[in-house]
Amino acid sequence: MLIYCGIDWAERTHDVALVDDTGKLVAKRHITDDTTGYKILLDLLTEYGDSEETPIPVAIETSRGLLVAMLRTGKRQVFAINPMAAARYRDRHSVSRKKSDPGDALVLANILRTDMHAHRPLPNDTDLARAIAVLARAQQDATWNRQQIANQLRSLLREYYPTALAAFGPWKNGLCRPEARALLKAAPTPSLAARLTRTQLQAALRRAGRQRRIAAEADRLHEVLRADWAHQPQLVEDALGKQMLALLLQLEAACTAADDLAKAVEEAFPQHPDADIICSFPGLGVQLGARVLAEIGDDRTRFADARGLKAYAGSSPITRASGKKSSITRRWVKNDRLNDAGYLWAFSAITASPGAKAHYRRRRDDHGDWHAAAQRNLFNRLLGQLYYCLQHHTLFDEHTAFPTVLAAAA
């Protein structure tokens, strides 16, 4: 008799349900989220035939946490069921829309009993790949958070301090640069900025770590900050300056977090065996390559073919047909992190690879694609090539990847 387990996850307690291959509920428990609760769960699974050779599959609505980490030990298959999919399955058993935690655990167990073949278990990635995934995702979140705070700071400066935006405009990364943060800290209002001398400006640039063209840059800043600009009333300007300093503290913390996590990624990612293959592709460096590895993992059996990986990344189109009507559009349900990394990858590959650039131009000129669609098509092709290289342990080769384009160019 086959047994299937469903766990309705919560913050402090979990409901567990076991069903047999006929759909009969054979056991249920309410456990706590601690060592005692985990032991009760393992004892319950063992009581109903769980062993190292034939582990009972488990369905749960999350892929993270200590409970999932405990269940993933050994050969057990753990299925992370999307909560929206679980809600659709719930409607199969009751039309009254009733809901309870024990009932959700029973629904999850029945999902495995009836449709386990249609769901993908959590990948069997190595510990190193999972550690890189943690660091890469955290660095990506820190980068997004840094940009969000920088946008808020820019909007605030537009209200009372456009001089600063004009002064930092020629700099790459603008407000996120250490020089910009040092100058804003030294002069939080335009009135104070206009009083800064060239010597003070040079000292602020040196404190921020600048080493070249300090005198010339200080002269440019001195001229811009002393130009004639409109001002808020003095009391309002001072209040806005204090608000800006509070935002500046958040921006400095976000910049520090992003930089520290980037260093951690640079230390961990090169240790992975797939790092050389991933970084051999045009447009992929350490940070972007780590993000790609974090989302696809190193379990070679996770995707049956390249089409599955492309659908997971949202790079392949999807067809919607009904009767005589048919439309081909991009995918909305996808791995957003991998899709975001894919656009950056394709954008960088256009300038790093002649074949990728020719492919992009062909999609724009011959097929009439917009910029985003052409980039997505290029990402789709590069992702298929990455799948092949990882499966066969080979590095990227420009002539193999774009043979027709290079021959025509020659």
**293-313 pLDDT per residue, tens:** 999 999 998 898 999 999 999
Residues 405 and 281 in one domain: yes
- Which of 118 and 97 is assigned the larger pLDDT? 118
Whichever domain contains 67, its CATH number is: 3.30.420.40
Residues 279 and 247 in one domain: no
CA distances in angstroms from 332 to 219, 327, 403, listed in the order given: 50, 14, 32
Tokens of 188: 């939080």
Residues 142 and 205 in one domain: yes
208, 234, 267 — which closes off a domain? 267
Cβ neighbours, 10 Å, residue 340: 15
Domain assignment present for residue 155? The answer is yes
Residues 254 and 135 in one domain: yes
Distance (Å, whole) CA 7 – CA 280: 42
Domain assignment present for residue 124? The answer is no
Domain that holds residue 290: 275-409
Residues 307 and 336 in one domain: yes
Residues 56 and 157 in one domain: no
Residues 340 and 398 in one domain: yes
| β-strands 58-60, 3-8 pairing | parallel
The pLDDT of 237-262, averaged and rounded, is 95
The pLDDT of 361-365, averaged and rounded, is 92
Task: Report which of 101, 103, 107, 12 is spatially closest to residue 59, judged by C-alpha positions.
Answer: 107
* Strand positions, DSSP E, 292-386: 318-322, 325-329
Tokens of 210: 């600048």
Phi-psi region of 23 (alpha: psi -120 to 50; beta: other; left: phi over 0): left
In the numeric block, the tokens 């495995």 are attached to 112
Domain assignment present for residue 123? The answer is no
Distance (Å, whole) CA 32 – CA 41: 10
Contacts of 135 (CB under 8 A, 6+ apart): 261, 264, 265, 268, 290
The pLDDT of 82-109, averaged and rounded, is 81
118, 148, 176 — which closes off a domain? 118
Residues 63 and 172 in one domain: no
Domain assignment present for residue 160? The answer is yes
Least reliable range by pLDDT among 72-76, 235-239, 292-296, 395-399: 72-76
Residue 385, pLDDT > 90, answer: yes
Specify the pTM.
0.85
- Looking at residue 318, what is its pLDDT? 80
* Strand positions, DSSP E, 247-338: 318-322, 325-329
Domain assignment present for residue 293? The answer is yes
Least reliable range by pLDDT among 52-61, 135-144, 274-283: 52-61
Distance (Å, whole) CA 47 – CA 49: 6
Residues 181 and 281 in one domain: no
Least reliable range by pLDDT among 140-144, 243-247, 347-351, 400-404: 400-404
Domain assignment present for residue 295? The answer is yes
Domain assignment present for residue 372? The answer is yes
Residues 220 and 292 in one domain: no
Domain count, the chain: 3
Residues 79 and 17 in one domain: yes
Residues 112 and 138 in one domain: no
pLDDT band at 10 (very low <50, low <70, confident <90, very high): confident
Contacts of 185 (CB under 8 A, 6+ apart): 245, 248
96, 118, 140 — which closes off a domain? 118
Specify the length of the chain in residues: 410
Phi and psi torsions of 5, nearest 5°: -115, 135
Q: Are 283 and 326 in contact (CB under 8 A)?
A: no
Tokens of 285: 């460096």
Phi-psi region of 346 (alpha: psi -120 to 50; beta: other; left: phi over 0): alpha
pLDDT tens per residue across span 119-169: 889 998 999 999 999 999 999 999 999 999 999 999 999 999 999 999 888
Q: What is the DSSP letter of 356?
A: H
In the numeric block, the tokens 């800006």 are attached to 244
| β-strands 78-80, 3-8 pairing | unpaired
Domain assignment present for residue 125? The answer is no
Q: Are 320 and 327 in contact (CB under 8 A)?
A: yes
